[in-house]
Structure 1
Amino acid sequence: MKLYYSPGACSLASHIILNEINVDFDLEKVDLKTHITEKGTNYYQINPKGYVPALEINPGLILTENVAILPFLAQHDPKQDLIPPSGLGRAKVLEWLGYLNSELHDAYSVFFGAPLTDDAKQKAYAELDRLLTYIDQAIVASGNEYLVDDNFGPADAYLFVLTNWSNLIKHDLTPFQNVVALRKKVAARQSVQIAMRDEGLIP
């Protein structure tokens, strides 16, 4: 398999899960401004949507979108800890991935487009806080170690990556103590440390 990624982008979640399942894979960095890969390929020829991640499963067979790639990779976990094979447990993972993708990801994305006015920025911060308040309270209500159960999974990787962007936009996460605690557990995983080093995000 090959993962097309941009350092620190949402493709980092797929990179983390690839490390978790301990398979051989290649990485190819994409410049999202020029849409040229590090090997000089026009990225639109690989993924016409133009954004990451894209997972090449076999030559010419490409899967895109986090909500598809993350459970696809997680189901290859030999321990079957990353995602339940079926039933309500699997549905809860997909529920979280859908929420993170459609709500939290979009709420962060507005900061990376055209420059925001001060008023628009404050409204965008408030929307982030609203979404993170829900997540923070859901973690408490569940009584679980992670978002779905007591096992780390793809939704946790995705939440970790998205909330990393708070550092880039000067957004304070400290009010969300349960989110911060979950982030610390995720950050300590070897799969995460390796992925972040490989992408040049940490020494």
Structure 2
Amino acid sequence: MKLYYSPGACSLAAHIILNEINVDFDLEKVDLKTHKTEKGADYYEVNPKGYVPALEINPGLILTENVAILPFLAQHDPKQDLIPPSGMGRAKVLEWLGYLNSELHDAYAVFFGAPLEGEAKEKAYKEVDRLLNYINRAIGESENEYLVDDNFGPADAYLFVLTNWSKSIGHDLSPYQNINAIRDKVAARQSVQIAMRDEGLIA
């Protein structure tokens, strides 16, 4: 398999899960401004949508979108710890992935387009906070160690990656103790440390 990624982008979640399942894979960095890969290929020929991640499963067989890629990879976990094979547990993973992808990802993403100023910027911060408040409260009301159960999974990786963007946009995560408790556990995982080093995010 090959993962097309951009350092620190949402493709980092797939990179983490690839490390978790301990499979052989290649990485190819994408410049999202020029839409060229590090090998000089036109990324639009890989993924016509133009953004990451894209997972090449076999030559010519490409899967895109985190809500598809992350469960696909997680189901290859030989211990079946990353995602339940069926039933309500699996449905809850997909529910969280859908929410993170359609709501939280979009709320952060507005900061990476045209510069925000004044009232528009404050409104964007409030939207991020509204969504984080919901997630923080949901974690606090649960007895689980992670978002879905007591096992780390793809939704936790995705939440970690998205909330990493708070630093880039000058947003304070400190009020969200329950989110930070999960973030700390995720950050300590070897799969995460390796992925972040490989992407040049940490030394």
Give the TM-score of the pair, scaled to structure 2: 1.00
CA distance in 1, matches of 2:177, 2:162: 16
> 1:90 is aligned with what amino acid?
R
Counterpart secondary structure, 2:195? helix
How far is 1:57 from its partner? Answer: 0.1
CA deviations on 1:54-104 (whole Å, 9 max, x unpaired) are: 000000000000000000000000000000000000000000000000000
- Percent identity, please: 85
Give deviations 1:3-43, integer Å, cap 9, x for gaps.
Answer: 00000000000000000000000000000000000000000
- Which residue identity is paired with 1:68? A
For 2:121, the equivalent position in structure 1 comes to: 121
**Partner of 1:144 in structure 2?**
144
- The residue that corresponds to 2:133 in the other structure is 133
Partners of 2:106 and 2:195 in 1: CA distance: 23
Q: 2 CA distance for matches of 1:143 and 1:121?
A: 35
SS at match of 2:120: helix
Give ranges in structure 1 of 5+ residues lacking alignment. Answer: none
How far does residue 187 in structure 1 lie from its aligned partner after superposition? Answer: 0.1
Amino acid at match of 1:163: T
Alignment of 1:71-86 (within 5 A): 71-86=71-86
Return the alpha-carbon distance in structure 1 between the equivalents of residues 30 and 89 of structure 2: 34
Aligned residue runs from structure 1 range 38-49, under 5 A: 38-49=38-49
**1:171 is matched with which residue?**
171
Aligned residues: 203
Report the TM-score, using the length of structure 1 for normalisation. 1.00
Q: Which runs of 5+ in 2 are unaligned?
A: none
Mapped partners of 2:180, 2:76: distance in 1: 28
Name the Cα RMSD after superposition.
0.4
Q: CA–CA distance in 1 between the matches of 2:2 and 2:91?
A: 27
